Amino acid sequence: MLGAELRKIRDQLKLTVDEIAARLDWHQSKVSRVETGRSGVRAHEIEKLLDVYQVTDQETREALAALARDNKRRMWWQPYSDVLSQRYASFISFEAEAASVRSYDSSLVPGLLQTADYARALTRQLQPDTSTEEINALVDVRLARQNATLRREDPLKLWAIVDEAALRRIVGSPTITAKQLHSLVSSSRQPHVTVQVAPFTAGAHPGVHGSFVILEFPVRNDLDVVYTENQTSSLYLERDVDVAAYNEVFDRLRAAALDIEPSRRLITRIAKELE
């Protein structure tokens, strides 16, 4: 978040990385590492950087300084770094700082709402060469994500739209999937969790192009990002025009999906069909 904001400010000033490095007497690689999130920045350095960027708004300066301080915190997922891919760890770090998440899932129950049995069966099917020990560690990460976001003192606000196909896909066994669906209904009754189903009857709705996550952050809404992934790579979209486009898609999906109570009834009906 810090790097993205600093890069945006530099772009607005039409300054190059080399120009900033020269003004700060930094190596140009340091500016690049800070902007890409690969390197932190000390408190006195962020102050000098904001002076060079001519940032005078005190609220903005304090918010960015707070992000710089947060870089020093030990994150809860670090003990699992040996089983986490770089893109998964990056996503977790974004998610941990988000104030709210809006997601569309076309094939699976959202990770933040998965049961341990569902997550274990899913990991085993998707990663057949993974050891039992590693699978258990990845399931522990999934559950820890839920505790760190949905069960914290100021819980993450989650609005999840799930395609009917995701509900009908058998993961592990009909029994595991049925229990997952009942859990999904229970989760949807939490005040900070909203679940809608995009039914087959919605036809070719805007979500047919694939799953995505919109992460919204408490500092500034122009730091919001969209996350998408495929089999081999993941993509973070930060440009205002891209985020706005996905916001519109989500709003259209929300309109096409069933309301909250009809969604719960459909989920429950599918669960009972599997039992």
Q: Which helix (H) or strand (E) holds 52?
A: helix 43-52
- Say whether both 147 and 228 belong to one domain: yes
- Say whether both 135 and 42 belong to one domain: no
Residue 167 confidence (pLDDT) = 97
| pLDDT exceeds 60 at position 90 | yes
- Say whether both 95 and 221 belong to one domain: yes
CATH number of the structural domain spanning residue 213: 3.30.870
Separation CA 183–CA 130 (nearest Å) = 26
- Say whether both 20 and 142 belong to one domain: no
- Say whether both 134 and 258 belong to one domain: yes
Q: Which two tokens stand for residue 6?
A: 């600093």
Q: Which two tokens stand for residue 150?
A: 């949905």
165: in domain: yes
- Say whether both 102 and 60 belong to one domain: no
CATH number of the structural domain spanning residue 58: 1.10.260.40
- Say whether both 90 and 21 belong to one domain: no
From 23, 46, 70, give the residue that closes a domain.
70
- Say whether both 58 and 120 belong to one domain: no
Structural domain boundaries, residue 150:
82-274
Residue-wise pLDDT for 217-243, tens only, equals 876 556 788 999 876 677 888 888 999
- Is the distance from CB of 234 to CB of 87 less than 8 angstroms? yes
Residue-wise pLDDT for 68-88, tens only, equals 765 544 467 777 878 888 788
Residue 222 confidence (pLDDT) = 61
Domain count for the chain, please give it.
2
Residue 221 confidence (pLDDT) = 57
124: in domain: yes
- Say whether both 125 and 194 belong to one domain: yes
Q: How far is CA 125 from the centre of its chain?
A: 23
76: in domain: no
15: in domain: yes
Among 192, 193, 170, which residue's Cα sits nearest to residue 181? 170
From 35, 70, 105, give the residue that closes a domain.
70
Terminal-residue alpha carbon distance, the chain: 44
- Is the distance from CB of 111 to CB of 141 less than 8 angstroms? no
Residue-wise pLDDT for 131-155, tens only, equals 999 999 999 999 999 998 999 888 9
What pTM does this model have? 0.76
| pLDDT exceeds 60 at position 124 | yes
| pLDDT exceeds 80 at position 104 | yes
Among 268, 260, 220, 162, which residue's Cα sits nearest to residue 5? 220
- Say whether both 19 and 111 belong to one domain: no
- Say whether both 24 and 97 belong to one domain: no
Question: What integer best gives the mean pLDDT of the chain?
Answer: 88
From 70, 102, 121, give the residue that closes a domain.
70
- Say whether both 87 and 61 belong to one domain: no
77: in domain: no
- Beta pairing partners, 236: 227
- Is the distance from CB of 181 to CB of 167 less than 8 angstroms? yes
151: in domain: yes
75: in domain: no
